[in-house]
């Protein structure tokens, strides 16, 4: 275990030290032309930037920016209508999609038409908006702070508490204002559900802006998490926090071309290393052989990871150690300043009155069944749906072969009941 962690840290530092490579794209195309391993289409999808990727598939794409009260400039993406059906702009119900840890709005797009949720919703008649959390590739700008300043980590002083408490309300208000709607459907995956629970409990006035909340792989309580890497790291959260600030590291896993390069070299069809690559990418989320299709891995690696703060990880670690769902633990003195008490307050889930549909999986190592049941019991207005596949796992909510029939189809039927 320990050598593995040391290797990981070396890898992260090596990626950090590497400057972006201008000739990368040409070089990869040339390499691939010689080895001819992956189709031109997949290579192209891995290399295109997100707006061009969506336009390649003939979908409309808009990029919007909105500034939070504390100065973070967030990138919002929109696919206002479909390509094959519902292909005219018009007054459609809004679906707002929020991504999980380490990724970005791209997670709902990269699998392509016929599979990716953003396209499916557009074809089903929704006006699709995709949020991006502060600190990720699309939301790295700030009115005054600099994410790349290693001597001042102020930019990175946030966890998913701020993403839920500040970013989500800012983005939702912008979308409602822009579309002239009173309310929208919220869809979150993993941390995209955590941040919703933060918003709707700390700022309950936002519940009336939510027609329905569809929670894919819901994460709030993590008391039953049994990941071996986490159990090695979680006893040392405070030390890790101090170490990262001494090293001048506030953010982790920013988007880098080296991931695209590694994805194409080692994860594509025909590469002998493809199974190892699958195991590494899905190490934390678990992997379901029955639903796994490795062909698209180079495309996923071309668009993720997209960057997080150290505190996002520490906060999840606190959820595992404390066995509670509560605000960021700054340590005793700072807790008194921020919360007026020595320990962080719990998020009051009973204040969440919006209808929450929990779509959870039987084999999800990041949303264990006992933890989902506790969440269900404490929410103000919940329903729950177990995905009818015994091995369905965390990442399957995005990448499973049959995700449309197993999850998105039923979910969209629930959403349409409101119209
Ligand atoms: C936790 O994981 C270990 C192996 O990593 C396993 O032996 C044990 O049964 C697991 N415990 C639970 C409660 O799942
Ligand atoms: C895997 O994905 C590729 C690319 O989307 C697709 O062409 C192929 O049919 C899929 N394979 C299976 C077995 O589903």
Q: pLDDT tens across 91-149, in order?
A: 999 999 999 999 999 999 999 999 999 999 999 999 999 999 999 999 999 999 999 99
Burial 396-407 (b: 16+ CB within 10 A, else e): bbbbbeebbebb
With 0-12 CB in 10 A as exposed, 13-18 as middle and 19+ as buried, what is 245?
middle
Q: How far apart are CA 115 and CA 93, in angstroms?
A: 21
Instruction: Give the residues surrounding ligand 2 with Cβ less than 6 Å away.
Output: 293, 295-296, 401
Q: What is the DSSP letter of 405?
A: I
Q: Tell me the two tokens of residue 308.
A: 């997080």
Per the residue annotation, which of 77, 393, 394, 396 is the catalytic one? Answer: 394
Which H/E stretch holds residue 336? Answer: helix 332-339
Task: State the CB neighbour count (10 A cutoff) for residue 32.
Answer: 20
Separation of CA 282 and ligand 2 centre (Å): 18
Whether the CB of 1 sits within 6 Å of ligand 1: no
DSSP 203: S
Q: What is the pLDDT of residue 287?
A: 84
| Cβ proximity of 364 and 376 under 8 Å | no
| Pairing outcome for strands 308-309 and 184-189 | unpaired
Cβ contact 232:376 at 8 Å? no
Q: H-helix or E-strand containing 184?
A: strand 184-189
Tell me if 226 CB under 6 Å of ligand 1.
Answer: yes
pLDDT of residue 3: 52
Confidence (pLDDT) at 30:
66
| Smallest CA separation from ligand 1 atom 5, residue | 228
Is residue 364 annotated as part of the catalytic site, yes or no? yes
Catalytic residue among 364, 371, 389, 396: 364
pTM of the model: 0.93
CB neighbours of 123 closer than 8 A, spacing ≥ 6? 82, 83, 84, 85, 86
Residue 10: the pLDDT is: 57
Using most ligand atoms within 8 A of CB, pick from 4, 226, 284, 369 the residue to mutate for ligand 1.
Answer: 226
Output the pLDDT for position 11.
60
Specify the CATH class of 48-255+304-416 in words.
alpha beta
Q: What pLDDT is stored for residue 362 in this prediction?
A: 96
**pLDDT of the chain, 419 residues: tens digit per residue:** 555 555 555 565 555 555 444 456 666 666 665 565 678 889 999 999 999 999 999 999 999 999 999 999 999 999 999 999 999 998 999 999 999 999 999 999 999 999 999 999 999 999 999 999 999 999 999 999 999 999 999 999 999 999 999 999 999 999 999 999 999 999 999 999 999 999 999 999 999 999 999 999 999 999 999 888 888 889 999 999 999 999 999 999 999 888 998 898 889 998 889 999 998 888 888 888 899 999 999 999 999 999 999 999 999 999 999 999 999 999 999 999 999 999 999 999 999 999 999 999 999 999 999 999 999 999 999 999 999 999 999 999 999 999 999 999 999 999 999 99
CB atoms within 10 A of CB 338: 12
Is 266 exposed, middle or buried, given 0-12, 13-18 or 19+ CB atoms closer than 10 A?
middle
d(CA 102, CA 305): 5
Distance from C-alpha of 377 to C-alpha of 188, rounded to nearest angstrom: 19
Angle between helices 257-266 and 40-47 (to 10 degrees): 160
Domain ranges of the chain: 48-255+304-416
CA of 190 to the centre of ligand 1 (A): 22
**How many other CB atoms are found less than 10 A from the CB of residue 196?**
27
Token pair recorded at residue 93: 């119900």
What is the percentage of the chain residues whose pLDDT exceeds 70? 91
Q: Of residues 115, 190, 201, 244, which has the active-site annotation?
A: 190
């Amino acid at each position: 275990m320990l050598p593995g962690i040391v290797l990981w840290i070396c890898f992260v530092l090596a990626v950090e030290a590497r400057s972006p490579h201008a000739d990368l794209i040409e070089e990869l195309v040339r390499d691939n032309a010689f080895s001819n391993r992956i189709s031109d289409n997949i290579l192209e999808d891995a290399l295109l930037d997100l707006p061009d990727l969506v336009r390649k598939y003939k979908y409309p794409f808009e990029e919007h920016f909105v500034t939070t009260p504390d100065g973070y400039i967030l990138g919002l993406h929109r696919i206002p209508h479909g390509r094959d059906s519902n292909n005219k702009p018009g007054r459609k119900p809004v679906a707002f999609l929020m991504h999980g840890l380490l990724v970005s709005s791209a997670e709902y797009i990269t699998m392509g038409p016929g599979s990716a949720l953003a396209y499916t919703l557009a074809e089903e008649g929704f006006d699709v908006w995709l949020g991006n959390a502060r600190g990720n590739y699309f939301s790295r700008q700030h009115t005054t702070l600099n994410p790349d300043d290693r001597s001042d980590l102020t930019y990175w002083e946030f966890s998913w508490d701020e993403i839920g408490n500040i970013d989500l309300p800012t983005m939702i208000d912008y979308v409602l204002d822009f579309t002239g709607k009173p309310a929208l459907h919220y869809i979150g995956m993993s941390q995209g559900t955590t941040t919703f629970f933060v918003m709707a409990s700390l700022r309950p006035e936002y519940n009336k802006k939510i027609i329905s909340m569809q929670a894919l792989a819901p994460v709030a309580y993590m008391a039953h998490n049994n990941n071996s890497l986490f159990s090695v790291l979680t006893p040392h959260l405070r030390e890790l926090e101090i170490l990262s600030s001494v090293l001048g590291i506030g953010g982790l896993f920013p988007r880098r071309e080296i991931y695209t390069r590694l994805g194409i070299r080692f994860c594509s069809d025909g590469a002998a290393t493809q199974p190892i690559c699958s195991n590494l990418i899905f190490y934390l989320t678990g992997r379901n052989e029955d639903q796994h299709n490795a062909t698209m891995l180079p495309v996923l690696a071309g668009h993720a990871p997209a960057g997080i703060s150290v505190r996002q990880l520490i906060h999840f670690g606190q959820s595992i150690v404390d066995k509670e769902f509560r605000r960021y633990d700054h340590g005793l003195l700072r807790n008194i300043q921020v919360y007026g008490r020595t320990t962080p307050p719990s998020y009051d889930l009973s204040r969440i009155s919006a209808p929450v549909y929990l779509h959870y999986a039987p084999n999800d190592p990041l949303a264990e069944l006992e933890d989902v049941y506790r969440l269900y019991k404490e929410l103000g207005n919940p329903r729950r749906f177990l995905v009818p596949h015994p091995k369905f796992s965390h990442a399957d909510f995005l990448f499973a072969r049959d995700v449309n029939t197993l999850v998105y189809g039923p979910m969209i039927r629930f959403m349409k009941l409101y119209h």
